[in-house]
A and B are shown apart, each in its own frame.
Chain A
Amino acid sequence: VRVNAAGALAAVGDPAVVPALLAQARDDSFFEAARAAAYAAGRLDPAAVVVASRRADASPVLHEVGDLLEVER
């Protein structure tokens, strides 16, 4: 459910959900849900994800999406 919800939120496109998605990407112990949240946040607010990926407490999925966004720039 969390994986699909993240995808749906990205499709809806409301940037207000980005902080919640970033928190899920950082803290969700279910790998697929965390990654889906990180990708969804990346679609909605790339700059926020890049900043979040540089923080000391960033999760591996945030590193992945943050690095990808930096490469795409």
Chain B
Amino acid sequence: MTAVRAVLEAFAVVALVYVTALGAIYIVFTAIAWRSITRHRRERAYAATEEAFASPLTPPVSVLLPAYNEAAGIVDSVNSLLALRYPEHEVVVVNDGSTDATLARLRDAFELAPIRKALRASVATAPVRATYASRRHANLWVVDKDNGGKADALNAGMNAARYPYICAVDADTMLEDEALLRVAKPMLDDPSLVVATGGIVRIANGCRVEHGRVLEVGLPESRLATLQVVEYFRAFLVGRVGWSRLGSLLIISGAFGLFRRSVVEAVGGWWTGTAGEDVELVVRIHRHLRERGEDYRIEFVPDPVCWTEAPEELRMLARQRRRWQRGLAETLWRHRAVVGNPRYGVLGLAATPYFLAFELLGPLVELVGYPAVAGAVAADAVSVAFLASFLAVSLLLGILLSVAALALEEFSFRRHSRDRDAARLLLFAVLDNFGYRQLTDLFRILAFGDLVRRRRHWGAMPRRGLDRRRVERIPTGR
């Protein structure tokens, strides 16, 4: 009995130390994010996008759009990308062996003509069946290939890309008109150093959407989707801004990321062996450049907005989170030599250990921590005051951090301008810590089972559709 009590006590102490450390890290990141975003907004006032739009130095960009069974929304998606405000860009749609009418819709809408497009052999991909150019838009290309998955489609798009920078986007996302200009700004400011940038992803459920454009920002009716709105604020405005400032941003969302093409080619393109090709690519770029001792920067830019649809069903949310967690696990395993290795600087000593200890293993520790602390109290191994401390740190700190992220959004970007929406977000920032966070932890734990079973597929994601006129099945972006 004494041994059981000792184990429970030890577990309870570890759990308390763990959640305290996580909270402390997030407090530091919130402070960094406030400072960074405040400065970013001040600089933005002087460096308007007009400057980037007019500059002959703004690099031309190839926007890569992998599409698998996207017939319902592909035309809107392509139209929104063609309409991006940018001095020179092309759109390369990669039809990844769709079994629906994706290619036919593209052919009809954009008057595609078969062209023997010259493709680089930078990265091997599944066979390309045909390439097309549009008679209506000189900057639109379509690559039709055998199915090989999203990473393979991106590689095929990169092989077809004409320009030195490539922007990967998901077919179910919508970019704001100036999103590309804003995300490219760091490359314009410092072209020799900046090799990749990512923009913020926001949830479009509840927004008024027409023809692939968000006309009015609103909150979802679904409570599950609203919880994700708050969660995205915390992840993007705090987590990514913080890691970006520390020079160790590990995740550039697959939904919206801009890369120097030569760097992606040098590391071998997107890896097809993972469900998290976005995070894996960024870690590989960090590793490649640090091993060569090159100066570089990978930046997160908080204001170029990419809108995406969040799952409104638990089953779909579970599938999405399991896939993300699986991708993170596969990435950390593939790059395990980096974790804790001082050779990689902040990446090795802080970023990868953080992702291992808190993002990958965090759900396990937190979910085991609750019953362990309760058990320790019941067995009289720790005091009730200890339990109160644990709950205070775990829940109150969680609430504080969610509210801080929301406040950061409200005081900086305030995209949800209605007071009623702000009040609802505040309520959900509190509720987020009572059930939702633990539920997503549970989904993430299930990913370990997927890894053991070596489950690789993406899984279909039935959608209600952002534009309520369309209903489709699409894979989501991180």
Contact = CB atoms under 8 A, between A and B. Distances in A.
Size category of the A interface is 10 to 19
Interface residues of B, number: 11
A4 to B, nearest CB: 12
A63 B118 contact: yes
Please classify the interface of chain A as helix (H, G, I), strand (E, B), loop, or mixed, using the class held by over half of its residues: helix
A31 to B, nearest CB: 5
B356 interface: no
Contacts of B292: none
A43 to B, nearest CB: 13
A6 to B, nearest CB: 13
B116 A71 contact: no
Contact of A67 (B116, B119, B120): B116
Contacts of A61: 118
B115 interface: yes
Contacts of A35: 118, 162
A48 interface: no
Task: Give the residue among B113, B115, B133, B162 with the most A Cβ atoms within 10 A.
Answer: B115
A31 B135 CA distance: 25
Contacts of B115: 64, 67-68, 71
Given A64-B115, A68-B115, A31 B120 contact: yes
B117 interface: yes
A70 B116 CA distance: 12
A39 to B, nearest CB: 9
Nearest to A36: B162
A14 B269 CA distance: 39
A3 B355 CA distance: 42
Interface in B103-129: 113-120
B116 A64 contact: yes
B427 to A, nearest CB: 54
A60 interface: yes
B133 A60 contact: no
Nearest to A39: B162
A63 to B, nearest CB: 4
The 5 closest A-B pairs by CB, nearest first: A60-B118, A63-B116, A67-B115, A61-B118, A71-B113
Interface of B: 113-120, 133, 135, 162
24 contacts: A31-B118, A31-B120, A35-B162, A59-B118, A60-B116, A60-B118, A60-B119, A61-B118, A63-B116, A63-B118, A64-B115, A64-B116, A64-B117, A67-B113, A67-B114, A67-B115, A67-B116, A67-B133, A68-B115, A68-B133, A71-B113, A71-B115, A71-B133, A71-B135
